[in-house]
Structure 1
Amino acid sequence: MTARTSAQALADVASALVEDHEITGLLARLVSDCAALVPADAAALLVRTADGGFELLSATSHRVDELELYHAQRESGPAVEAARTGAPASAVGGEAIVARWGDVGTEIVEAGFQAVHAFPMHWRGHAIGGLNLFSVTAAELSEPSFVLAQSFADFATLAIVQPAALGDEDLAQRVTEALEGRVVVEQAKGVLAFQLGLDMADAYDELVARSSVNGSTLAQVAQNVVRAAQER
């Protein structure tokens, strides 16, 4: 049997998201694929609750299940930190893990793990939880593995927050908003082409470049260009 690739695993999640999916099974498959492909020896998802605490959502094994429940009870640990700070949290080596997370770190080491990496589950400017990856060897993640793990965390977030279904009116509204955004982009391309003496292809590249530099969305940059031209 051909081994699954990261592209196949993420494509499977994406396919499930556009269908009527069962979230528990989807998340279980997601953490399993993540552990296999990053790679790590175990993975788990912790999420924030309405009262500000944390709960285990999915784990690859019973051992990690118990470990994460302890983290949730203590409201401490790598995934908790990632959720609170909105940034990845890592420690490699038993001493570093204990030094960073105290009793929770001791539990991680005693469970047999020598490296842990946690990734925030971002949603609309804040983190709703964290993805934990545990390894029995004391090893840093490579840059490609780091990026892949964050992608799995992002897909887990989408699986949780995506509504089960949209009514026809809601779907039509979202399509309309997408089309309106495209119209603004086309207008902005025309403005830049005129102002800077560019062809339309180069004007679009200029919009994309400004978006990357400013950290804004393409639609936001386009709106700013059009607004500035109207105010002249």
Structure 2
Amino acid sequence: MASVILFPAIDLKGGQCVRLIHGDMTQATVFNDDPAAQALVFERQGFEYLHVVDLDGAFAGKPMNAAAVDAILAALNKMPVQLGGGIRDMRTIDGWLGKGVARVIIGTAAVRDPELVREAARKNSGKIAVGIDARDGLVAVEGWAKSSELTAIELGKRFEDAGVCAIVYTDIARDGVLKGLNIEATLALADALAIPVIASGGLASIADVERLLQPDCARLAGAISGRALYDGRLDPQRALDLIKARRTS
């Protein structure tokens, strides 16, 4: 699997690096008071791409942790950043891309304002991703506080011809609880779409990384890891070495 990327995650709440359980803002564990320092740790460990989410922004509908994101961007040397949370208009998209974010992830607005995604993708080739967060098969919006009537596949198909560079697919039931990635649902989405799909939610151990490197997962673009990296269940060097070995085999 030549293209797999393991994205370490930084979720921002109140300027701190946290992890939630099932997206519940009342169940936040603070892992680092300095998100920029955490980002630098991930870069020095050898990760290729950083995943950042403004959790407060996802609920508020506008950026709420801009200072923390700015600090992350300033601290990193070369590692690109993909950012989601509260990105619901062109001004915000242009603002983040102008500051050096490599890729923005549009979630709620992809459901509510699909034309925004299309316009942004036309203007910013290769820099617009769609976040699809699903609970019981249906897409959730507004920081996962509300459910829509759309399935993940239905939403993804809306953007097949829009120039979207990736879909970040999260199984909310597995997010933050270390139950393992929902490979079956993620592959079903990837099979239905031409857009590359990134798996998110539940990555728990090196076994999940090994699973991602199996032939049937070759069509996935990678996976996001959060809590498992923070609490030591996933050894970053071992994971990155496995991925490197597979690329060169």
Smaller-chain TM-score bracket: under 0.3
Question: Which one has a larger percent helix, Structure 1 or Structure 2?
Answer: 1
TM-score, normalised relative to structure 1: 0.28
Question: Which one has a larger percent strand, Structure 1 or Structure 2?
Answer: 2
Which structure carries more relative contact order (alpha carbon 8 Å, separation 6+)? 2
